[in-house]
Amino acid sequence: MAYEWKELALEDQPRNPLADFALNVMARFTAAEIGLSNEHRPMDRSSNFDQQWWLALVSVTPGLSIAGLLERAADFLPPDHPGSLVIPGEYSEGFRNRQDIDVITLYARRDYLNAANAANGAEQLGIETLLVSTPLESQTLSSPAEPFTPPDLKVPVTPNTVVTAVIDHGVAIAHDLFRRKNINGDLVLSRVDFFLDMDGTPDPNAPVPSTIGRVWTGPEINEILKNNLHNGLLDDAAVYRDLGLIDWKTRPFNACAHRLSHGTHVTGLASGYDASDVDGLERRIIVVQLPTRLVANTLGFGLEQAIEQAMSFISQQLVHFQVDEVAQQMPLVVNFSFGNFMGPHDGTGEVSRSIDTIMSNMEASSSRPRLLMMPSGNGNLSRCHAVINLTQTAPTAELDWQLQPADRSASILSVWLPVMTPVEDSTVTMRVTVPGFDTPHTLTAGMTPSYNWLTEQDHLGNAIILGLVVYQPPVAPTARGKFTIAVVPTDNPMRVGLVAPSGDWKLQFVKGNAVDKLSLNVWVQRDETLPGFPEFGRQSYLSAPSYNRFDVPGGKVISEDPVAHASPVRRAGMINGIACGNLPAVIAGYVSSDGKMSAYSAGGPTLNGFRLTGPDASAVSDDSVVLHGVLSAGSNCGSRVSMSGTSVSTPRVARWVADQFAQSPTTPFGRGNVVAKALNDDPPSPHKPSAFRTGGGRMELRNIFGSLRWPGQE
């Protein structure tokens, strides 16, 4: 075991360490996980790996259009690599010529992305920042040379129709709660008008073309439903086989074949109606299923990158709705029940910005309300947030970061400085001590980036990179300096080479003389296996002796930071890192029976002045202390299953929002209206949870499927 620190020269430093980490440091692990295995010669995977396509969320140099971006790419890319960049066909000619595009999605290979991420990537390629996570399944991508011709589709609806869009994973769209009866009384009309399955294979003959995945239209779905209705029963497995959602030939994970699928449950709460329920007739659905690879990848910063494509897709389908044969945009509520721990938590991250931009554009162009719903997250007890306060009297603080053994996913931690431009050189240092390596490494915050590899020598004498320790000075619009540590998995069953040491990674922060006091925010990225997926990641976490998990050993879980606690590790501030933007309505979860916040339900504060306390409101995410979760649709027709988490409280509010839209389709409506309803439902009282956990308050919403489980409920 011979560890070593290696510092990179300024000109060799990639600009986004996490993109570099995903593209290069993690390559040997990712290649093995996605089956590019060559068990005897792991190095041979690299050429195969270079052929993989990545979804990248990038911000473009101001003033540069997509057309300009392509010109620069053509100049850069060698002639034998003509195909390393794909601009989504969904971006119209007009959009491609705009010079104010900010954040867009690209599909690219590693050579382009590495060049874009290089120190000179901005001037060479016009890419200011980029986010990548894990390669896509190659068959899910097409390479449109030209912008798509917008399809001429007409979806006739009634004037009071509201569209509910769900961006999720594992959506069994054929569930009977999403169907209506035809004139013969057969339950074969889907209320899903558009379904983008990002795991699908693009079909050039499909009515709606797609760069990633397959778009299914209502009439196509209805045809499949009709063909698979036998003796009054839908053959679920056959429907999902026809849609490509269940395919045991090629896919090891088929969410819709499981009893419980996240997206089905969420969609059921957001817009599931019994066929006899008249409300359902005027609720239409758009579903986007995210790529399984991105969802399963517990690296943690991949999932939300697809949201820009998802939102663009939703936005483009709205033009097809017609009332009395006249095109009319309908009110839209979007539910995105996913979360993450990282990010600046101040609304300036790429994802938050792109969400806010798309929502404002949609709203401005339609004069109909549009609202995006997001969960506050389930990380309240995950010990993934710490606040380090350094003062003149206590200029030094220590924090332990625990990497678990048998963690097959990467572990990532970031430390954010306060807003500070410039950062003077003697502001703060971070020292990292790796378990089993007695030479710590110290980084100094300032205006100079610092980029360091932790390497270990393998049996052939090669230095293998196990992790990155990086400092980046503030970059607009996030005016905060940042330390980042990214570490490869601590375990892998395949022949991938050296893994990282698990155990106690010790961090020490020392304040310099440039400031009197300093508050640092630490967040650890989520890297846990998602429910239903095969065992993969194990969550790394922060530990401090003064953090008590239970009131007495073996006793009750403490779900709020005690008033006078001394621990740097906090429950507060564990709010979903991508739910800190200005526009989304963010929903926490509470327990119906006792009115307490669900222990996992994460809260603020955030660092965004427009939503300091965090969530906007809370809704029921657990029926009772013993009946965890709430009931909604299971994957198979007719089934109801329970699921808990802020993933389920959020769509309950989305359903209520849709009701409000239906009553008043042209009235502007924003998250403020959700807060108002919450304040009204939950007036101040000694038992009301703090605004940081519950936002405006605990919303009292009509129980949707709960009476099946607990007849006492309304």
Question: Which residues of this protein are in contact with another protein, per CB under 8 A?
Answer: 230-233, 235, 237-238, 241, 248-254, 257-259, 534
In whole angstroms, give the CA distance from residue 343 to residue 169.
22
Residue 261 or 490: the one with the smaller Cβ distance to another protein is 261
Task: Report the nearest approach of another protein to the CB of residue 64 (Å).
Answer: 44
Sequence-distant contacts of 659-662: CB under 8 A, at least 24 apart: 659/279, 661/162, 661/331, 661/333, 661/369, 662/160, 662/161, 662/162, 662/279, 662/282, 662/283, 662/331
In whole angstroms, give the CA distance from residue 265 to residue 171.
8
Task: Report the nearest approach of another protein to the CB of residue 565 (Å).
Answer: 38
Q: Is 524 helix (H, G, I), strand (E, B) or coil?
A: strand
| Side-chain half-sphere CA neighbours of 459 within 13 A | 2
Give the ranges where 272-415 is alpha helix by DSSP (H): 278-281, 292-296, 307-317, 350-366
| Cβ within 8 Å of residue 158, ≥6 positions away | 281, 282, 323
Task: Report the nearest approach of another protein to the CB of residue 666 (Å).
Answer: 46
Residue 618 or 636: the one with the smaller Cβ distance to another protein is 636
Specify the DSSP element, H or E, that contains 4.
Answer: strand 3-7
Q: Kindly report the three-state secondary structure assignment for every residue of 439-474.
A: CCEEEECCCCCEEEEEEEECCCCCEEEEEEEEEECC
Task: Report the nearest approach of another protein to the CB of residue 257 (Å).
Answer: 6
Task: Report the nearest approach of another protein to the CB of residue 404 (Å).
Answer: 21
Task: Report the nearest approach of another protein to the CB of residue 229 (Å).
Answer: 11
Residue 534 or 712: the one with the smaller Cβ distance to another protein is 534
Distance of CA 605 to the CA centre of its chain: 20
Task: Report the nearest approach of another protein to the CB of residue 338 (Å).
Answer: 21
**Between the CA atoms of 635, 288, 215 and 109, what dihedral angle is there, to the nearest 10 degrees?**
-120
Specify the DSSP element, H or E, that contains 233.
Answer: strand 233-234
Cβ(608)–Cβ(346) under 8 Å? yes
User: Which of 1, 20, 4, 9 lies closest to 441 in space, CA to CA?
Assistant: 4
User: Which of 492, 623, 518, 464 lies closest to 3 in space, CA to CA?
Assistant: 464
Residue 76 or 536: the one with the smaller Cβ distance to another protein is 536
Residue 223 or 235: the one with the smaller Cβ distance to another protein is 235
Residue 329 dihedral angles phi and psi, to the nearest 5°: -70, 140
Alpha-carbon dihedral sign for residues 176, 180, 186, 188: negative
Task: Report the nearest approach of another protein to the CB of residue 74 (Å).
Answer: 40
Task: Report the nearest approach of another protein to the CB of residue 243 (Å).
Answer: 15
In whole angstroms, give the CA distance from residue 285 to residue 218.
10
Tell me the two tokens of residue 66. 């997509």
Task: Report the nearest approach of another protein to the CB of residue 233 (Å).
Answer: 6
Residue 635 or 646: the one with the smaller Cβ distance to another protein is 635
Determine how many CB atoms are found less than 10 A away from the CB of residue 536.
17
Determine how many CB atoms are found less than 10 A away from the CB of residue 448.
12
Residue 67 or 233: the one with the smaller Cβ distance to another protein is 233
Specify the DSSP element, H or E, that contains 674.
Answer: helix 671-681
In whole angstroms, give the CA distance from residue 338 to residue 332.
19
Alpha-carbon dihedral sign for residues 450, 454, 457, 458: negative
Residue 158 or 250: the one with the smaller Cβ distance to another protein is 250
Task: Report the nearest approach of another protein to the CB of residue 304 (Å).
Answer: 25
Residue 538 or 655: the one with the smaller Cβ distance to another protein is 538
Residue 72 or 251: the one with the smaller Cβ distance to another protein is 251
In whole angstroms, give the CA distance from residue 5 to residue 442.
10
Q: What angle do CA 168, 309, 87 make, to 5 degrees?
A: 150
Task: Report the nearest approach of another protein to the CB of residue 254 (Å).
Answer: 6
Task: Report the nearest approach of another protein to the CB of residue 231 (Å).
Answer: 4
Task: Report the nearest approach of another protein to the CB of residue 491 (Å).
Answer: 17
